[in-house]
Structure 1
Amino acid sequence: MTTQEIAGRLVELCRKGEFNTAQSELFSKDAVSVEPYSTPDFEKETKGLDAIKAKGEKWMSMVEKTHSMEVSDPLIAANSFACTMHMHVTMKEHGEMDMKELCVYTVKDGKIIKEEFFM
Protein backbone atom coordinates (compact mmCIF):
# COMPACT_ATOMS: atom_id res chain seq x y z
CA MET A 1 0.00 0.00 0.00
CA THR A 2 1.10 3.56 -0.64
CA THR A 3 1.34 6.16 2.11
CA GLN A 4 -1.84 7.77 0.75
CA GLU A 5 -3.73 4.45 0.79
CA ILE A 6 -2.57 3.69 4.34
CA ALA A 7 -3.55 7.19 5.51
CA GLY A 8 -6.99 6.93 3.93
CA ARG A 9 -7.63 3.51 5.43
CA LEU A 10 -6.40 4.56 8.89
CA VAL A 11 -8.68 7.61 8.92
CA GLU A 12 -11.63 5.51 7.67
CA LEU A 13 -11.18 2.92 10.43
CA CYS A 14 -10.52 5.47 13.19
CA ARG A 15 -13.68 7.39 12.28
CA LYS A 16 -15.59 4.14 12.88
CA GLY A 17 -13.76 3.53 16.18
CA GLU A 18 -12.10 0.41 14.74
CA PHE A 19 -8.65 1.07 16.21
CA ASN A 20 -7.72 -2.59 16.70
CA THR A 21 -8.54 -3.36 13.05
CA ALA A 22 -6.45 -0.38 11.95
CA GLN A 23 -3.49 -1.59 13.97
CA SER A 24 -3.81 -5.20 12.77
CA GLU A 25 -4.07 -4.19 9.11
CA LEU A 26 -1.73 -1.24 8.87
CA PHE A 27 0.98 -1.45 11.54
CA SER A 28 4.30 -3.25 11.33
CA LYS A 29 4.90 -5.92 13.98
CA ASP A 30 7.84 -3.76 15.18
CA ALA A 31 5.96 -0.44 15.21
CA VAL A 32 6.63 2.17 17.88
CA SER A 33 4.04 4.43 19.54
CA VAL A 34 5.19 7.66 21.21
CA GLU A 35 3.00 9.63 23.63
CA PRO A 36 3.59 13.34 24.39
CA TYR A 37 4.74 12.46 27.90
CA SER A 38 4.86 9.57 30.32
CA THR A 39 1.97 9.15 32.78
CA PRO A 40 1.29 6.72 35.63
CA ASP A 41 -0.93 4.79 33.20
CA PHE A 42 1.24 4.89 30.05
CA GLU A 43 4.91 4.87 29.12
CA LYS A 44 6.21 7.57 26.79
CA GLU A 45 7.27 4.93 24.23
CA THR A 46 5.61 1.60 23.46
CA LYS A 47 7.42 -0.88 21.18
CA GLY A 48 5.85 -3.68 19.19
CA LEU A 49 2.36 -4.20 17.80
CA ASP A 50 1.21 -6.46 20.66
CA ALA A 51 2.23 -3.85 23.24
CA ILE A 52 0.56 -1.07 21.21
CA LYS A 53 -2.67 -3.09 21.07
CA ALA A 54 -2.48 -3.71 24.83
CA LYS A 55 -2.06 0.05 25.39
CA GLY A 56 -5.17 0.68 23.29
CA GLU A 57 -7.17 -1.89 25.26
CA LYS A 58 -6.04 -0.29 28.51
CA TRP A 59 -7.13 3.14 27.26
CA MET A 60 -10.55 1.81 26.25
CA SER A 61 -10.99 0.19 29.67
CA MET A 62 -10.48 3.63 31.26
CA VAL A 63 -13.18 5.30 29.13
CA GLU A 64 -16.66 5.30 30.61
CA LYS A 65 -18.35 7.00 27.64
CA THR A 66 -17.33 8.45 24.29
CA HIS A 67 -19.45 11.54 23.58
CA SER A 68 -17.85 12.36 20.24
CA MET A 69 -14.79 11.65 18.15
CA GLU A 70 -13.62 13.41 15.00
CA VAL A 71 -10.66 12.54 12.79
CA SER A 72 -9.48 15.04 10.17
CA ASP A 73 -8.56 14.21 6.62
CA PRO A 74 -4.85 13.30 6.45
CA LEU A 75 -2.03 15.53 5.24
CA ILE A 76 0.30 13.28 3.27
CA ALA A 77 4.02 13.42 2.48
CA ALA A 78 6.20 10.79 0.81
CA ASN A 79 6.67 8.48 3.81
CA SER A 80 4.57 10.10 6.49
CA PHE A 81 1.17 11.59 7.15
CA ALA A 82 -0.63 13.46 9.90
CA CYS A 83 -4.19 14.01 11.04
CA THR A 84 -5.89 15.48 14.07
CA MET A 85 -8.10 13.53 16.44
CA HIS A 86 -10.61 15.30 18.66
CA MET A 87 -12.21 13.20 21.41
CA HIS A 88 -14.78 14.20 23.99
CA VAL A 89 -14.93 11.39 26.57
CA THR A 90 -15.84 10.69 30.16
CA MET A 91 -13.06 8.83 31.93
CA LYS A 92 -13.94 6.46 34.78
CA GLU A 93 -11.42 8.04 37.16
CA HIS A 94 -11.10 11.61 35.86
CA GLY A 95 -14.52 12.68 34.57
CA GLU A 96 -15.23 14.46 31.35
CA MET A 97 -12.31 15.39 29.09
CA ASP A 98 -12.06 17.18 25.75
CA MET A 99 -8.83 16.24 23.98
CA LYS A 100 -7.38 17.24 20.63
CA GLU A 101 -4.12 15.82 19.39
CA LEU A 102 -1.98 15.78 16.29
CA CYS A 103 -1.23 12.23 15.18
CA VAL A 104 1.87 11.75 13.00
CA TYR A 105 2.60 8.44 11.28
CA THR A 106 5.74 7.16 9.55
CA VAL A 107 5.39 4.54 6.81
CA LYS A 108 7.98 2.06 5.52
CA ASP A 109 7.51 -0.93 3.20
CA GLY A 110 3.73 -0.47 3.14
CA LYS A 111 3.22 -0.46 6.93
CA ILE A 112 3.09 2.12 9.71
CA ILE A 113 6.34 1.84 11.65
CA LYS A 114 5.81 4.77 14.03
CA GLU A 115 2.95 6.81 15.45
CA GLU A 116 3.54 9.90 17.56
CA PHE A 117 0.96 12.02 19.35
CA PHE A 118 1.24 15.73 20.16
CA MET A 119 -1.18 17.67 22.36
Structure 2
Amino acid sequence: MTTAEIAGRLAAYCRNEQFSTAQKELYADDAVSIEPVETPGFDKETRGLKALMEKDKQFSAMVAARYGTTVSEPLIAGNAFTFVLTMDLQMKGGDRQQLQELCVYTVKEGKIVSEQFFM
Protein backbone atom coordinates (compact mmCIF):
# COMPACT_ATOMS: atom_id res chain seq x y z
CA MET A 1 0.00 0.00 0.00
CA THR A 2 1.06 3.57 -0.62
CA THR A 3 1.37 6.14 2.14
CA ALA A 4 -1.88 7.76 0.94
CA GLU A 5 -3.72 4.41 1.03
CA ILE A 6 -2.44 3.66 4.53
CA ALA A 7 -3.43 7.15 5.70
CA GLY A 8 -6.95 6.72 4.33
CA ARG A 9 -7.39 3.28 5.88
CA LEU A 10 -6.04 4.40 9.26
CA ALA A 11 -8.31 7.46 9.30
CA ALA A 12 -11.32 5.26 8.52
CA TYR A 13 -10.42 2.75 11.24
CA CYS A 14 -9.95 5.57 13.77
CA ARG A 15 -13.28 7.18 12.84
CA ASN A 16 -14.91 3.83 13.64
CA GLU A 17 -12.83 3.39 16.81
CA GLN A 18 -11.24 0.22 15.40
CA PHE A 19 -7.79 0.99 16.75
CA SER A 20 -6.64 -2.60 17.34
CA THR A 21 -7.76 -3.67 13.85
CA ALA A 22 -5.74 -0.80 12.40
CA GLN A 23 -2.66 -1.84 14.34
CA LYS A 24 -2.93 -5.49 13.22
CA GLU A 25 -3.30 -4.55 9.56
CA LEU A 26 -1.24 -1.41 9.10
CA TYR A 27 1.63 -1.43 11.63
CA ALA A 28 5.08 -2.99 11.32
CA ASP A 29 6.15 -5.52 13.96
CA ASP A 30 8.85 -3.10 15.16
CA ALA A 31 6.67 0.05 15.16
CA VAL A 32 7.27 2.73 17.79
CA SER A 33 4.75 5.03 19.49
CA ILE A 34 5.76 8.32 21.12
CA GLU A 35 3.42 10.14 23.51
CA PRO A 36 3.66 13.87 24.30
CA VAL A 37 4.56 13.12 27.92
CA GLU A 38 5.04 10.12 30.16
CA THR A 39 1.92 9.50 32.24
CA PRO A 40 1.17 7.04 35.05
CA GLY A 41 0.88 3.59 33.50
CA PHE A 42 2.21 4.67 30.09
CA ASP A 43 5.79 5.22 29.01
CA LYS A 44 6.64 8.14 26.75
CA GLU A 45 7.90 5.65 24.15
CA THR A 46 6.52 2.20 23.36
CA ARG A 47 8.32 -0.19 20.98
CA GLY A 48 6.99 -3.20 19.11
CA LEU A 49 3.54 -4.04 17.78
CA LYS A 50 2.67 -6.34 20.69
CA ALA A 51 3.49 -3.57 23.19
CA LEU A 52 1.48 -1.03 21.18
CA MET A 53 -1.52 -3.34 21.16
CA GLU A 54 -1.22 -3.84 24.91
CA LYS A 55 -1.06 -0.06 25.39
CA ASP A 56 -4.28 0.32 23.36
CA LYS A 57 -5.93 -2.38 25.45
CA GLN A 58 -4.89 -0.64 28.70
CA PHE A 59 -6.17 2.73 27.46
CA SER A 60 -9.51 1.21 26.43
CA ALA A 61 -9.86 -0.38 29.87
CA MET A 62 -9.59 3.11 31.41
CA VAL A 63 -12.49 4.48 29.33
CA ALA A 64 -15.93 4.48 30.92
CA ALA A 65 -17.85 5.71 27.84
CA ARG A 66 -17.14 6.79 24.26
CA TYR A 67 -19.32 9.39 22.57
CA GLY A 68 -17.58 9.53 19.21
CA THR A 69 -14.29 10.04 17.43
CA THR A 70 -13.56 12.41 14.58
CA VAL A 71 -10.54 12.46 12.30
CA SER A 72 -9.53 15.23 9.92
CA GLU A 73 -8.56 14.44 6.36
CA PRO A 74 -4.96 13.17 6.27
CA LEU A 75 -2.21 15.47 5.05
CA ILE A 76 0.47 13.47 3.23
CA ALA A 77 4.12 14.37 2.50
CA GLY A 78 6.39 11.68 1.08
CA ASN A 79 6.43 8.72 3.47
CA ALA A 80 4.71 10.63 6.30
CA PHE A 81 1.17 11.75 7.06
CA THR A 82 -0.73 13.51 9.79
CA PHE A 83 -4.29 14.13 10.92
CA VAL A 84 -6.12 15.59 13.90
CA LEU A 85 -7.87 12.99 16.08
CA THR A 86 -10.57 14.13 18.49
CA MET A 87 -12.08 11.66 20.96
CA ASP A 88 -15.19 12.53 22.98
CA LEU A 89 -15.06 10.25 25.98
CA GLN A 90 -15.32 9.80 29.71
CA MET A 91 -12.51 8.16 31.61
CA LYS A 92 -13.41 5.97 34.57
CA GLY A 93 -13.83 8.19 37.62
CA GLY A 94 -13.68 11.36 35.51
CA ASP A 95 -15.84 13.83 33.64
CA ARG A 96 -16.72 13.72 29.97
CA GLN A 97 -13.98 15.38 27.91
CA GLN A 98 -12.71 15.87 24.40
CA LEU A 99 -9.12 14.81 23.81
CA GLN A 100 -7.55 16.29 20.69
CA GLU A 101 -4.21 15.19 19.27
CA LEU A 102 -2.14 15.87 16.22
CA CYS A 103 -1.07 12.40 15.09
CA VAL A 104 2.04 12.05 12.90
CA TYR A 105 2.90 8.75 11.20
CA THR A 106 5.87 7.47 9.22
CA VAL A 107 5.52 4.65 6.67
CA LYS A 108 8.22 2.29 5.43
CA GLU A 109 7.77 -0.65 3.06
CA GLY A 110 3.97 -0.41 3.23
CA LYS A 111 3.63 -0.37 7.03
CA ILE A 112 3.45 2.28 9.74
CA VAL A 113 6.80 2.26 11.55
CA SER A 114 6.22 5.19 13.89
CA GLU A 115 3.46 7.28 15.37
CA GLN A 116 3.88 10.40 17.47
CA PHE A 117 1.18 12.36 19.24
CA PHE A 118 1.09 16.08 20.08
CA MET A 119 -1.49 17.77 22.31
| TM, length-normalised to structure 2 | 0.97
Return the alpha-carbon distance in structure 1 between the equivalents of residues 47 and 96 of structure 2. Answer: 29
Q: Secondary structure at the match of 1:101?
A: strand
Q: Give the total of aligned pairs.
A: 119
The 8 Å contact of residues 62 and 93 in structure 1, kept in 2 or not, is answered as no
In the other structure, the counterpart of 1:100 is: 100
Residue 88 of structure 1, CA deviation: 1.3
In the other structure, the counterpart of 1:75 is: 75
In the other structure, the counterpart of 2:23 is: 23
Which amino acid counterpart does residue 52 of structure 2 have in structure 1?
A: I
Q: Which stretches of structure 1, 4 residues or more, deviate above 6 A after TM superposition? A: none
Q: Identity over aligned residues, as a percent?
A: 51
Q: Secondary structure at the match of 2:38?
A: coil
Q: Secondary structure at the match of 1:86?
A: strand
CA RMSD of aligned residues (A): 0.8
Q: Secondary structure at the match of 2:39?
A: coil
Q: Which runs of 5+ in 1 are unaligned?
A: none
Q: Which runs of 5+ in 2 are unaligned?
A: none
